[in-house]
Structure 1
Amino acid sequence: MLSWLERIVSACWRPVGRYARMNKDNDDGSCGGGNDQLVWYRDLDKHSCGEFSFAVVQANVVIEDHSQVETGRDGTFIGVYDGHGGPEASRFVSEHLFRHLNKLAKENGSITEEILSAAFSATEDGFLTLVRRSLGLKPLIAAIGSCCLVGVIWNGTLYIANVGDSRAVIGCLSKSNKIVAEQLTSDHNACMEEVRDELRSSHPDDSHIVVMKNGAWRIKGIIQVSRSIGDAYLKQPEFSIDSSFPRFHLAEPIRRPVLSAEPSLSSRPLQPNDKFVIFASDGLWEHMTNQEAVEIVYKYPRTGIARRLLTTALKEAGRKREMRYDELKKMEKGVRRHYHDDITVIVIFVDREMKTATRDNNMCVPELSIRGFIDTVAPSNFNFTQTT
């Protein structure tokens, strides 16, 4: 087995062509699925303090999940953006949020929860400006939004910011040497009683702030997530949608924002028993528990582990409809949405030995910007002066 130092050297000397080509699922199925043309993956790559595995499956006619991993000398950035109503908001977040964060980090020489919050605010403001400019030509852009889950590893600390119901789960070794799941994010979804209570408390004069519809709790009878980027018509009266679009028309104009773009924030110094973090859109968690997910990651080899999680979820989605995955994966995009959502999975391994080797030997880390599913890899500029 290669030492950590040898693995770092290998990563740095690998040809650039290694990063220029994306993979579609056409292997022999060793990771639980094969020949699913709607699955994209990066089985294993390096980041600033370990390795990561990345996989995405498309279900919608136009994929609404956008995602990215930025690897750099100073840290690692992970973004999962689960769009709804269309791809415009999640695509906008993918193109702008990291830029805002990187600019603020360079100005301050560090990462903080406040900087993460400011990057979310700037992204929200930018998208609402786009909506305002586009409203005349495309009224329904006001009903497009995106959940947004971001993780940053910098200076030995994991920072998390989240709006919506994508989820980050860390796998930790217990004293008895068993892997244990710890959820790092809150689900901003009306299915959660605490979210409904929060909405009712902040809108005491609105008896229809949360309504049970089609078997699920929905805000104003329309949407399940309580926080998002976009969804402008539920945030400002100027973006209200008229009755010619009944699905998004509100009987009465909103008096104050119904949804919020304010992220839940947390930071956690990484400890030796913290082994990996799973970042995934809600499509994964619909089909497995946190504990089931971390046990899969802990049990199987790293290479292809994100794809293994993905195909495990797809098999479960098929099983619920009495269908084998071999049948499910033959279905076209659009039809697949009746069985499962677009799903993004990113597994970030935390290797203290690798971080130490990189620092002590002044070794290079691949500085890459990888965008999930849309098949782009470019140099990353996630570098700023650390304050130590």
Structure 2
Amino acid sequence: MFSWLARMASACWKPVRRYARMNKDDINDVDSMLGDSLLWCRDLEKHSLGEFSFAVVQANEVIEDHSQVETGQNATFVGVYDGHGGPEASRFIRDHLFLHLVRLAQENGTMSEDVLRSAFSATEDGFLGLVRRTWGIKPLIAAIGSCCLVGVIWRGTLYVANLGDSRAVIGSLGRSNKIIAEQLTRDHNASMEEVRQELRSRHPDDSHVVVMKQGVWRIKGIIQVGSYFSGYLLL
């Protein structure tokens, strides 16, 4: 029974027909650069559940953010990783989160909230291990983090997972064919009282886990992004 479920889970992802990372090096069409090296896009492309496209306004010359789109016969995965302090964390998530998700989906024979949560935790544990191994020669890696926003369509069901303050928004047609936008995720940001209370409860011995700086609540006085899955994203 388990082997049948594992094959079913595997079939949802294999073959992976399309793979897209938000990297301007992948854009071959000069017209897609829109005349600005920091503004680029990919036109609509078909996949198993419809079409997708993306557009990016790159804030810095050295891009800290990464994304990916994975599609198979019965599943689609979209990830957005908003890095801060450097590209290492967002790149690590891009290279490992989806692989953990596929492995766990195969082991469980399906997709679920627990599978998504476990994939996030495994990815975070892996990055923390990398930090512990390398901070002696590269101490700044301990000050690097990333938001992580994931959407998975699995056999017609949409799953959304979020750490940080990136947002997933779904659009639908309302009356008079007007597009109605609905936010699907909840922000994890130190400007929110519930996030500050969560951080304080997880770190009762750290009186500076959240600090007001220049009129803005920040974790350790540095960043605003918080997380319910871990302590604070900035080590």
CA distance in 1: counterparts of 2:62 and 2:46, whole angstroms: 29
Larger Rg: 1
Give the C-alpha shift of residue 217 in structure 1.
1.3
Distance 1:202 1:93, change over 3 A: closer
Partner residue in 2 for 1:58: 58
Give the C-alpha shift of residue 51 in structure 1.
0.7
CA distance in 1: counterparts of 2:85 and 2:29, whole angstroms: 27
Distance 1:205 1:99, change over 3 A: closer
Distance 1:25 1:167, change over 3 A: farther
Distance 1:22 1:70, change over 3 A: same
Give the C-alpha shift of residue 201 in structure 1.
4.6
1:3-46 per-position Cα deviation (integer Å, ceiling 9, x unaligned): xxxxxxxxxxxxxxxxxx93267439xxxx93012223211011
Structure 2 unaligned residues grouped into runs of 5+: 1-24
Partner residue in 2 for 1:178: 178
CA distance in 2: counterparts of 1:260 and 1:227, whole angstroms: 7
1:112-169 per-position Cα deviation (integer Å, ceiling 9, x unaligned): 1111111111101111111111111101111111110010001111001110111101
Alpha carbons 1:188, 1:227 under 8 Å: kept: yes
> Does 2:76 align with 1:72?
no
- Secondary structure of the residue aligned to 2:82 is strand
- The one-letter amino acid paired with 2:26 is M
> What is the alpha-carbon root mean square deviation over aligned residues?
2.6
Partner residue in 2 for 1:349: none
Distance 1:130 1:200, change over 3 A: closer
Distance 1:178 1:206, change over 3 A: same
Alpha carbons 1:79, 1:149 under 8 Å: kept: yes
- Scaled by the length of structure 1, the TM-score of the pair is 0.50
Give the C-alpha shift of residue 88 in structure 1.
0.5
> Does 2:39 align with 1:39?
yes
CA distance in 2: counterparts of 1:37 and 1:176, whole angstroms: 38
- Secondary structure of the residue aligned to 2:92 is helix
Aligned-residue identity in percent? 71
CA distance in 1: counterparts of 2:228 and 2:123, whole angstroms: 11
- Secondary structure of the residue aligned to 2:130 is helix
Partner residue in 2 for 1:161: 161
1:319-367 per-position Cα deviation (integer Å, ceiling 9, x unaligned): xxxxxxxxxxxxxxxxxxxxxxxxxxxxxxxxxxxxxxxxxxxxxxxxx
Partner residue in 2 for 1:133: 133
Map 1:305-384 onto structure 2 (within 5 A): none
> Does 2:38 align with 1:22?
no
Distance 1:50 1:197, change over 3 A: same
> Does 2:97 align with 1:93?
no
Partner residue in 1 for 2:152: 152
Give the C-alpha shift of residue 214 in structure 1.
2.8
Distance 1:221 1:162, change over 3 A: same
CA distance in 1: counterparts of 2:68 and 2:142, whole angstroms: 25
CA distance in 1: counterparts of 2:128 and 2:206, whole angstroms: 25
Partner residue in 2 for 1:319: none
Give the C-alpha shift of residue 60 in structure 1.
2.0
Partner residue in 2 for 1:111: 111
Distance 1:165 1:149, change over 3 A: same
CA distance in 2: counterparts of 1:123 and 1:203, whole angstroms: 22
Distance 1:260 1:92, change over 3 A: closer
CA distance in 2: counterparts of 1:204 and 1:156, whole angstroms: 42
Alpha carbons 2:66, 2:91 under 8 Å: kept: yes
Partner residue in 2 for 1:305: none
- The one-letter amino acid paired with 1:224 is Q
CA distance in 2: counterparts of 1:219 and 1:22, whole angstroms: 35
Distance 1:213 1:81, change over 3 A: same
- Scaled by the length of structure 2, the TM-score of the pair is 0.80
1:189-231 per-position Cα deviation (integer Å, ceiling 9, x unaligned): 11223322333454556543322213421012122111299xx
Partner residue in 1 for 2:221: 221
CA distance in 1: counterparts of 2:76 and 2:129, whole angstroms: 29
